[in-house]
A and B are shown apart, each in its own frame.
Chain A
Amino acid sequence: MNTPLRRVALAVMGMIVLLLANATYIQVVNADTYRTDPRNRRVLLDEYSRQRGEIIAGGLPVASSVETSGQLRFLRKYLDGPMYAPVTGYYSLRYGAGGMENAMDSVLNGSDGRLFVRRLSDLVTGREPSGGSVELTINPAVQRVAYDQLTRRGYTGAVVAIKPSTGEILAMASTPSYDPNQLSSHDGAQQESAWNADTSPKREIPLTNRAVAAIYPPGSTFKLVVTAAALEADKATPETPLTAAAALQLENTTTLLHNFADQPCGPGATVTLKTALVRSCNAAFAQLAATVGEADLRKQAQLLGIGQQDLAIPIPVTPSTLGAIPDVAALEQSGIGQRDVALSPLQNAMIAATIANGGVRMKPQLVRNILAPDLSVLDQTAPEQVGVAMSRFTADQIRDLMVAAENSYRNDGKIRGVTIAAKTGTAEHGADPKNTPPHGWYVAFAPADNPQVAIAVLVENGGDRNLEATGGSLAAPIGRAVIGAALQGAR
């Protein structure tokens, strides 16, 4: 009986070897597949057991983790949640992360390579591991004014403020906003109801970051791009005569493209480009766009960043677009920022900032420093020049046009002693554009001779003024208030 006994013993050994081989397959070969499966809650729970880094704006921790006694050890708290929400984003057990919480996750959770040495010393010294912090370029005073200005009248819209010389984003507001504190709550029901409210399709979705994740027809603010294209291609100067007619018949169609309120641009048959920009005459700019041609317009748009697919600040930015321009009629319509042209508020602010910076485009940045848990600087974001979008000469010419334009606008909230260069826009949209309240735009920079801040303001759907709304009445006062706040900080 001993032979079969030995064989049975061998068989049991074989069974154990089979188990070990299978365990190797699962725990060694396939381990990463299982570990990183999005349905595996372990990684997330593990993250909650470590102190996540802070998001800091102007020395204030706008997002920080506080210890709780619950199963999830750390709770994410936001200071002035709705105000900073478009920047900080949210950090939710159930719904993942958004905004900087998502874009800078590897730093905040401590897995980033720049924190490697720190992690190693945590391991050796037994110090509790924690994530690195992110210091933003946001200026809290500017951010507050931007947010307050939008919410004061209940606007749906966005404000972006950029420092032209560095690309640092000083403010990025989007309304209606949401409170990320509710999404990061450890109470699942509260998370869920907040999420449902924040993503509800029935009204303006609070979770959408309108500053970077939405694109809108730029309307007359796009005339800056057309002007830049015309000047750079030597197809016009500020004194070039353009039609002063109240309307232009689009090439090969019977459709008339009207000026605002159907007013002629001037008393004579023509006006200068300068006058046309100051008065924002659509017929004149449709004509100018046709003169410039699609190729030069596209080239200029691209130099200004329109169409860039991979821009991240590091929050990903929805690419702005000129859309398809199949014929001259389409080109004429695109020349006044309508048809399929669509820009994000960030993109429009970037255009203003590039003009302000003498034609040199800087990469927009939200991160100033990456800090170790002890707040020592690990990495600094250097200003990054993306390219030269236009000559300084062109930029200065456009600046002068914009100063003239600002001086022609109504006097809402102008700042004494500060010369602003600006352009307004009132963009039609929707299936029935004439009866849909327009989007109001205001792009500007100041002081004109030494720009410290460039801004773009967008107010959706006529704000509180319905069909009567214009960029000048809706967005310009907000923009000037933001500029005022930024200049106060800069002085």
Chain B
Amino acid sequence: MVTAVPTADAGAQPGSAPPTKRGIELIMLAFAAIVVTTALVLVELNQPHGVTRSVLYDGAAYLALFGAAHIAVRWFAPYADPLILPCVALLNGLGLVMIHRLDLAGEAAAASVGDPVPTGNLPHQIAWTTLGLGMFVAVLVLVRDHRMLARYGYTCGLVGLAALALPGLLPGAISEVNGSKIWLRVGGLTIQPGEFAKILIMIFVAAFLVTKRDLFTTAGRKVLGMELPRARDLAPLLAAWGISLGVLVIEKDLGTSLLFFGIVLVLIYVATERVAWLVIGLIFFLGGATVSDMLFRHVQRRVTAWINPFSDYDGAGYQMAQSLFGLGTGGVFGTGLGAGRPDLVPEAHTDYITAAIGEELGFVGLAAVLFTYLLVVMRGMRTALTVRDTFGKLLAAGLAFAIGLEVFIVVGGVTKLIPLTGLTAPFLAYGGSSLLANYILVALLLRISHAARSPAASAAPRKPVAPLAEARTEMVQRP
């Protein structure tokens, strides 16, 4: 690996400093650009008008955009993980190609019935990508040390909670789209504050757990070889559970609810190293899920459409059935980019973009996308393992796990493994809020990984600032 690094990196401080591996990042970015451009060429080839040279400019613009992000990483986080940004760029690029492809299908459909040609989603998504990369750079510039975020833990928590709750409290005219109250319509823009709340709440939970870790490790009764926490220490978990249920009931957003609870649970588990929390969390989850399925119509509808989409083919099951038809038609190798009919699946560019990929790129393409996500998550987990401060560990684990869980919920929903929940695939799917939030998330992850691999940090390790942790709370003697 080291030999692949250009001399500019390794040669600066021969021997002593570890390589930054920025060269690898650049090569991988160029590789992503080639893959994405090829994908675009394939889409165009399968259109009646054929390929034009503009495809090359698109590819160059894409490389320039991510090249800028790469330069920012070089300057502000030179020791950051070299694989995360290329993976994200690949997913984002593939998403852009797919959205472009669906735009073309929409244009063709409109042309065939004589409707005016619709404005596509691609220009918006390109704008959001640019903005997202801007945010990415801004986070790298502004957050020079991730530990400073811990200081704003409670602020983040409060703002995050407010952002999460806001759409639910506002009238539906402002916040409701397709039955879910998770939006903010401001002017011409629609924002999903929940996407940002996800990160803010992770920062809070990580900071909170660092200071209150002992609380959670305090032993309670021992049952079946597991040390259960004391009942009163359950309060934070109960709060998370309650908020999740609130999101589910008031905002009718299964996905965010599940994602939020899953992240908090995993962070508690990582912080305390006690499986008991997972077991308790799972019991809470199962209880909440069962009760929701019994009480709420929107949950029941999703579950019915999941168990047998063909029983209500013309109604609730239609989208799921179309997705399955698309995936089945795609088969192992897919119909080829631009040669399938992913536009037959409603909302193919957002919730069902992975179905579109599964149809046109086949199982092989879907697997490649899943492995790319897995690579991002694993690099994130690696960061969590290597970073030295507890807050960094928890935050990195949370950020990485959030991507993994979100992918599981989205792709599982689209492929009928679990009920559909209405989250979107990070970086792939159309949606500004999701894109912005996920670029912020990745910037934080890179910031932490820079700290983990930076030789400067190892030379002068700073104790995490956790004054409250020093003030020991009382220990309870076991009876």
Chain A residues near B (Cβ < 8 Å): 1-6, 8-9, 12-13, 15-16, 18-20, 22-24, 26-28, 30-35, 37, 39-43, 45-46, 69-72, 186
Contact = CB atoms under 8 A, between A and B. Distances in A.
B120 interface: no
A322 B270 CA distance: 83
B233 interface: no
A245 B113 CA distance: 71
Given A16-B374, A42-B344, A4 B408 contact: no
A391 B377 CA distance: 85
Contact of B111 (A26, A30, A71): A71
Contact of A5 (B325, B384, B404, B408): B384
A19 B408 contact: yes
Given A15-B404, A23-B327, A8 B397 contact: yes
Contacts, number: 139
A37 B328 CA distance: 10
A72 B417 contact: no
B325 A34 contact: yes
Contact of A41 (B273, B332, B341, B362): B341
A27 B362 contact: yes
A99 B390 CA distance: 75
A43 B269 CA distance: 49
B197 interface: no
B182 interface: no
Contacts of A4: 269-270, 273
A15 B269 CA distance: 18
Contacts of A28: 331-332, 363
B412 interface: yes
Interface string B394-420: 100100110011011001100111000
B363 A27 contact: yes
B109 A71 contact: yes
A30 B328 contact: yes
Contacts of B270: 1, 4-5, 8
A9 B362 contact: no
B342 to A, nearest CB: 10
A42 B374 contact: no
Name, among A1, A4, A27, A69, the residue most crowded by chain B CB atoms within 10 Å (CB to CB): A27
A182 B210 CA distance: 73
B59 interface: no
Contacts of A34: 324-325, 327-329
Contacts of A46: 341
B112 A39 contact: no
A43 B313 CA distance: 18
Q: Is the interface of A mostly helix, strand, loop or mixed?
A: helix
Contacts of A41: 341, 344
Nearest to A6: B385
Interface stretch (B163-171, B296-304, B365-373): B365-373
Contact of B325 (A3, A13, A42, A186): A42
B328 A9 contact: no
A40 B412 contact: no
Interface of B: 108-109, 111-113, 266, 269-271, 273, 313, 321, 324-332, 340-341, 344, 358, 362-363, 366-367, 370-371, 373-374, 377-378, 381, 384-385, 390, 393-394, 397, 400-401, 404-405, 407-408, 411-412, 415-417
B328 A26 contact: yes
Name, among A6, A8, A31, A32, the residue most crowded by chain B CB atoms within 10 Å (CB to CB): A8
B367 A20 contact: yes
A423 B416 CA distance: 66
B397 A22 contact: no
A2 B385 contact: yes
**Top 9 closest pairs, chain A to chain B, by CB:** A34-B328, A71-B112, A12-B404, A70-B112, A40-B325, A27-B363, A9-B381, A15-B408, A22-B417
27 contacts: A4-B273, A5-B397, A6-B381, A12-B378, A15-B404, A15-B408, A16-B374, A16-B407, A20-B370, A22-B412, A23-B411, A26-B324, A26-B327, A26-B415, A27-B330, A35-B328, A35-B331, A37-B325, A39-B321, A41-B341, A41-B344, A42-B329, A42-B340, A46-B341, A70-B111, A71-B108, A71-B112
A15 B408 CA distance: 6
Nearest to A2: B385
Nearest to B404: A12
Contacts of A33: 328
Contact of B112 (A9, A15, A37, A186): A186
Given A3-B273, A27-B331, A31-B329, 15 more contacts: A1-B271, A1-B273, A1-B390, A5-B384, A6-B385, A13-B378, A15-B404, A16-B370, A26-B327, A26-B415, A28-B363, A30-B328, A34-B327, A42-B340, A71-B108
A87 B416 CA distance: 45
Given A27-B330, A35-B331, A5 B358 contact: no
B350 to A, nearest CB: 19
Contacts of B384: 5
Nearest to A9: B381
Nearest to A16: B374
Nearest to A186: B112
Contacts of B273: 1, 3-4
B109 A19 contact: no
